[in-house]
Amino acid sequence: MSSQQTIRQFRIEIPQAQLDDLTDRLARTRWPDELPGTGRERGVPLGYMRELAGYWQHSYDWRKHEAQLNDIPQFTTTIDGQQIHFLHVRSPEPGALPLLLSHGWPGSVVEFLDVIGPLTDPRGHGGDPADAFEVVIPSLPGFGFSGPTSEPGWTTQRIALAFAELMHRLGYDRYGAQGGDWGAFITPELGRVDADHVVGLHLNAATMGFIPFGPPSPDDLAALTDAEKERLGRLQASTGGPGNGYFEIQAQRPQTLSYGLTDSPVGQLAWIVEKFSEWSHGPGLPDEVFGRDRLLTNVMLYWLTATAHSSARLYYETMHARSFGMAPVPVPTGVAVFAEDYAIRRYGERGHNIVAWSEFDTGGHFAAMEVPGLLTADVREFFRGLR
């Protein structure tokens, strides 16, 4: 293995000066005003942001969560000129199936912390040891410790090629892949670029390839179930309304956005928290659904690595490449549709080899964080026949 292909052990060791700088910036936040009588329709409310930022400044303990992350084996390697950071947790069970997990935006490897144990050690979590996986969880190029990217062109296809190379370097000749959000773009691409080695694909929070391009045809509309019509209505409201603003600015002007997010921790916090609020299914505020510390740890991976901009670049690169991988995906594919997802089976079947489809009346976009048990069970069931 050449020096460029070396896999290096990695530990997160944030200098104290960086944490002191964060505390100072939080203390000196220049707060905006807020019109009386307004609410979330205009964005994250001021009172909520003050409270959450105050907790971040005075009560959140990064060192505690840094230590917890460092309890998980972490590594880096260089692929296609880019540092790739990843978690790699082996299973105590012989014959465990390797499984690559891909996150999305504004997530990170933190999304998967609650599923690592059940996936790698089902025996120790009340499951069947025959369902064991060895998990590989990369930070997407441009995100967290895989960032920033240093050149243009990091599309979802290029990421899939890099992840296929990662699995090859780890010595895995057969593996499964799972992903949501951007991970649901990357995972089917793996089925295109590495079909000889990928035994199955499992998706959640799937959009591209699972929703209509433009208005659906009358025949499509007539064939939709009530649940699918409800999903289509939510999709149309989201893409045509204020909830899609983040997408437009990250796909068109990520550099302009980056100055505020990179300079202001509260700006970065609000930008991410809004999505965890809008895309969860559970009742209550996002820090109540996901846990305040878990939510802030995810934000910290963006803040400490200054990757607000390079993570947003994935939108720009992919949208401007105009080369969405629409070739059919031959690999067996399973889809989990949680309550806040949009995927519709008739559209997915046009380009994917769908062999399993599950629908849930709970759970949201960040299923591994919000409903880890449901996601784990669905992943186990899907891959049983593919080992």
What are the residue numbers of the active site? 181, 315, 365
No. of H helices and E strands in the chain? 17, 9
Strand order in the sheet with 352-359: 8-9, 74-79, 82-89, 133-138, 97-102, 175-180, 198-204, 329-337, 352-359
Q: Which of 305, 374, 384 has its CA nearest to residue 338? A: 374
Q: How far apart are CA 201 and CA 342, in angstroms?
A: 18
Identify any residues that bridge with 79 across adjacent strands, giving them in sequence order: 82
CA distance from start to end of the chain: 29
Q: How far apart are CA 337 and CA 363, in angstroms?
A: 9
**DSSP line for 216-270:** PPHHHHHH--HHHHHHHHHHHHHHTSGGGHHHHHHHH-HHHHHHHHHH-HHHHHH
Q: How far apart are CA 149 and CA 160, in angstroms?
A: 15
Q: What is the dihedral of CA 245, 287, 84, 162, to 10 degrees?
A: -50
Q: What is the dihedral of CA 158, 160, 163, 167, to 10 degrees?
A: -130
Q: How far apart are CA 200 and CA 122, in angstroms?
A: 20
Q: How far apart are CA 147 and CA 129, in angstroms?
A: 36
